[in-house]
Structure formats: structure tokens, C-alpha cells
Amino acid sequence: MDYISAFIVGGLICVVAQILMDTTKLTPARILVIFVTLGAILGGFGIYDKLIEIGGAGATIPLPSFGNGLAKAAIKGVKENGLIGAFTGGIEGAAGGITAAIFFGYLMALIFNPKTKQ
């Protein structure tokens, strides 16, 4: 049952993104920002954690989970270090994901021949 709920939750997140790309003039980059921002907002209010309980990996892997992680780290940073923790906590919480994205993006650029779309 865990696999099915993860598939449904992750699939619904992807369906929303696809509908936004097909029916609006939003670029994929703007949709990415919207998803991360929504994840941060829902995480700040504790709503995204309920979605993670239901969807498991289907909710922890997509982009809103990155925003959720940022929000949780910033909240933890504020509790530990005051206002400056809002900035340092988010950076600490996102460092692993950002580092992995840069590393694997660079690795793929070395392996494949990147080209711009024409």
C-alpha cells in the first residue's frame, strides 16, 4: 500500500505541474519556483508533513519537499540562533541538495554533449 500511495501523491504533484505547463504561459522555471515556495509555505504551517505521512517518497522526492526542508531548517535555525538563524538554517538545510544538484549536473555535462534547444 505504501508504493501505491507514494505513486498517487507523487503522480498528482507531477500532474499539477503538467497541467500548469499545458494551460498557462508559465515557464518550467517559474513552476519550479512556485512548487518550492508552496512546499516552504505548507512546511511552515506543518501541512506538508501530513502529506509526507500519506505519500512517503511520493511527497519527499518532488520539488515541494525541497521547500519544506528549507522551511523546517529555517524554523530550527530561528529557534537555535534567533533571527540570523532564518538565513543560516535554510542554507544548512539545503546544502546537501544543492551540492548534489551541482555535482551531478556537472557530471552529466561531462558525460553528454549539452546543447541548447533550437
Q: What is the C-alpha to C-alpha distance for residues 23 and 111, in angstroms, rounded to an integer?
A: 35
The pLDDT-based confidence of 41 (bands split at 50, 70, 90) is very high
Instruction: Examine residue 116 and state whether it is found in any structural domain, yes or no.
Output: no
Instruction: Examine residue 118 and state whether it is found in any structural domain, yes or no.
Output: no
The pTM of this model reads 0.77
- Tally of domains in the chain: 1
Q: Which residues, at least 6 apart from 10, have a Cβ–Cβ distance to it below 8 Å?
A: 55, 57, 58, 59, 61, 62
Residue among 81, 108, 76 nearest 93 (CA):
76
The pLDDT-based confidence of 25 (bands split at 50, 70, 90) is very high
Please state the rounded mean pLDDT for residues 22-28: 92
Instruction: Examine residue 117 and state whether it is found in any structural domain, yes or no.
Output: no
Instruction: Examine residue 56 and state whether it is found in any structural domain, yes or no.
Output: yes
Domain of 7, in residue numbers: 2-111
How far is it between the farthest Cα atoms of the chain? 49
Please, what sign has the CA dihedral across residues 32, 104, 96, 87?
negative
54-87 pLDDT, tens digit each: 999 999 888 898 899 889 999 999 999 999 988 8
Mean pLDDT of the chain: 90
